[in-house]
């Protein structure tokens, strides 16, 4: 027998009060269980220091961009390392066979943007202007609908890419000499399901964000106050007896030159005496903007966080953390995502307002920052674009 929604409501109304209460409780409990265990938790920090809401950010005005550069010029006491690894305009598309291709955005015919109004046809992307088709695998023009011949130079650049853990990575090297790295780090385990993510827009140089992993001192400095007391500078008396304690180290990997290893241990200290929520975190930094972290806790088992940094502009980065763990951990993961987001906001506050010092005055205990900068310099060559080159290419 099929029961319509109206019929179901009528049936409930006709029941006595006791049954109505039980049914209501069942419905509310089911919704809560569904929300807690099956819906990912997403935290989006839509605000950026200079651009305001993301809607404004997307259509960022020239004035705001100029202001960012002006600020960078005024406040950077010395020469900045190349700020932005490419400045290319690319189109990413997925075929019906689930293959992902990345090609240059501008059509070699008359320059239309393939990503604005273009459509996918088989493995090709079709230009919205005169319908030329370009193959994703090699970028060659496969068809011109109104011509029997295709000019030999009708081609867009096809970029090497890899899809992994729900992210699409593109290989870029300014000199095109180094062989693409492979990214072997897949979730590769049915036990690990996606629990949610957070997203932030940060106004800083791209190097500042991964440098955080090598800045061992900052953990006990800005991540010491209980996450429940909120963002930086919002310390609450209520949580004054609850602190996070950290121990960390950073070293370049012995296996691959573009890897570095972060070891971090955490404990929550209560009343200055008792320790709980101990966690050991191993992070693998892969290249300039990708970090994979595995967290081991004696109570909660193992879960993972993946961090990516996408340069939007020379001094504007989009940072995403994605969280994976067993299904049963879902209630804890929601609290963990909230805590990590608040902790990361404290870093964002610092980055949004800090200066980038090329020759900082370091204490003896800060040596890993120096090592990090030497390691990070491998991601630039003498041909990397400077801040001024980038500024010119933007307007």
Q: Which residues bind ligand FES (CB under 6 A)?
A: 107, 109-112, 127, 129-130, 132
Binding-site partner at residue 212 among Fe ion, ligand FES, none, CB < 5 to 8 Å by type:
Fe ion
Binding-site partner at residue 109 among Fe ion, ligand FES, none, CB < 5 to 8 Å by type:
ligand FES
CB of 152: closest distance to ligand FES in angstroms?
16
Among the listed ranges 208-216, 225-233, 281-289, 361-369, the one in contact with Fe ion (CB under 5 A) is 208-216
Say how far apart CA 329 and CA 337 lie, in whole Å: 12
CB of 108: closest distance to ligand FES in angstroms?
8
DSSP 104-124: ESB-TTT--BTTTT-EEETTE
Q: Which residue has the tokens 């180290």?
A: 249
Residues 337-356 that bind Fe ion (CB under 5 A): 347
Tokens of 100: 């992902």
Residues 131-170 that bind Fe ion (CB under 5 A): none
Among the listed ranges 64-72, 92-100, 104-112, 205-213, the one in contact with Fe ion (CB under 5 A) is 205-213
When the beta carbons of 48 and 212 are compared against Fe ion, the nearer one is 212
Phi (first) and psi of residue 86, to 5 degrees: -145, -75
Contact 100, 94 (CB under 8 A): yes
When the beta carbons of 106 and 259 are compared against ligand FES, the nearer one is 106
When the beta carbons of 143 and 258 are compared against ligand FES, the nearer one is 143
CB of 45: closest distance to Fe ion in angstroms?
15
DSSP designation for 15: S
CB of 139: closest distance to ligand FES in angstroms?
13
When the beta carbons of 163 and 294 are compared against Fe ion, the nearer one is 294
CB of 343: closest distance to Fe ion in angstroms?
7
CB of 82: closest distance to ligand FES in angstroms?
32
Would you count residue 248 as binding Fe ion (CB under 5 A)?
no
Task: Sheet containing 290-297: give its strands across.
Answer: 41-45, 193-202, 316-325, 301-313, 290-297, 274-286, 259-270, 242-252
When the beta carbons of 207 and 385 are compared against Fe ion, the nearer one is 207
- Residue among 177, 137, 171 nearest 155 (CA): 137
When the beta carbons of 155 and 224 are compared against Fe ion, the nearer one is 224
Binding-site partner at residue 127 among ligand FES, Fe ion, none, CB < 5 to 8 Å by type:
ligand FES
Say how far apart CA 248 and CA 325 lie, in whole Å: 23
**Greatest Cα pair distance in the chain:** 81
Binding-site partner at residue 132 among ligand FES, Fe ion, none, CB < 5 to 8 Å by type:
ligand FES
Residues 6+ apart with CB under 8 A from 288: 85, 206, 207, 210, 309, 376, 379
Would you count residue 212 as binding Fe ion (CB under 5 A)?
yes
DSSP designation for 156: -
Tokens of 25: 């409780």
Binding-site partner at residue 203 among ligand FES, Fe ion, none, CB < 5 to 8 Å by type:
none
Phi (first) and psi of residue 78, to 5 degrees: -150, -175
CB of 140: closest distance to ligand FES in angstroms?
14
Say how far apart CA 240 and CA 270 lie, in whole Å: 9
CB of 290: closest distance to Fe ion in angstroms?
17
Q: To the nearest 5 percent, what fractions of the chain are helix, strand and coil?
A: 30, 30, 40
Q: Which residues bind to Fe ion, rule: CB under 5 A? A: 212, 347
């Amino acid at each position: 027998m099929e029961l319509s929604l109206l019929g179901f409501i009528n049936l409930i109304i006709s029941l006595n009060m006791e049954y109505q209460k039980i049914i209501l409780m069942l419905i509310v409990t089911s919704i809560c269980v569904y929300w807690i265990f099956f819906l990912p938790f997403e935290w989006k920090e839509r605000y950026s220091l200079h651009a305001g809401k993301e809607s404004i950010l997307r259509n960022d005005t020239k004035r705001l961009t100029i202001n960012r550069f002006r600020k960078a010029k005024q406040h950077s006491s010395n020469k900045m390392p190349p700020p932005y690894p490419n400045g290319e305009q690319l189109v990413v598309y997925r075929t019906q066979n689930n293959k992902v291709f990345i090609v240059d955005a501008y059509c070699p015919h008359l320059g239309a943007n393939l990503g604005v109004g273009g459509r996918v046809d088989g493995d090709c992307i079709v230009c919205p202007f005169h319908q030329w088709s370009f193959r994703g695998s090699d970028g060659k023009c496969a068809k011109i609908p109104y011509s029997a011949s295709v000019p030999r130079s009708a081609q867009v650049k096809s970029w090497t890419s890899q899809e992994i853990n729900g992210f699409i990575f593109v290989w870029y090297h300014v000199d095109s000499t180094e062989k693409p790295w492979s990214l072997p780090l897949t979730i590769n385990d049915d036990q690990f399901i996606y629990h949610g993510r957070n997203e932030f827009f940060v106004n800083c140089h791209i190097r500042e964000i991964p440098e955080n992993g090598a800045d061992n001192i900052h953990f006990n400095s800005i991540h010491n106050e209980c996450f429940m007391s909120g963002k930086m500078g919002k310390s609450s008396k209520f949580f004054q007896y609850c602190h996070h304690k950290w121990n960390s180290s950073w070293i370049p990997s012995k296996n691959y030159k573009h890897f570095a290893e972060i070891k971090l241990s955490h404990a929550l200290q209560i009343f200055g005496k008792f320790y709980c929520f101990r966690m050991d975190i191993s992070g693998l930094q892969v290249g300039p903007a990708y970090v994979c972290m595995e967290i081991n806790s004696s109570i909660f088992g193992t879960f993972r966080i993946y961090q990516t940094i996408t340069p939007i502009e020379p001094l504007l980065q989009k940072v995403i953390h994605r969280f994976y763990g067993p299904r049963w951990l879902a209630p804890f993961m929601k609290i963990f995502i909230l805590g990590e987001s608040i902790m990361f906001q404290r870093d964002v506050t610092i980055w949004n307002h800090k200066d980038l010092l090329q020759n900082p005055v370091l204490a003896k205990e800060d040596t890993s920052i120096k090592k990090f900068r030497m390691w990070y310099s491998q991601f630039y060559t003498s041909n990397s674009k400077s801040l001024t080159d980038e500024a010119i290419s933007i307007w």
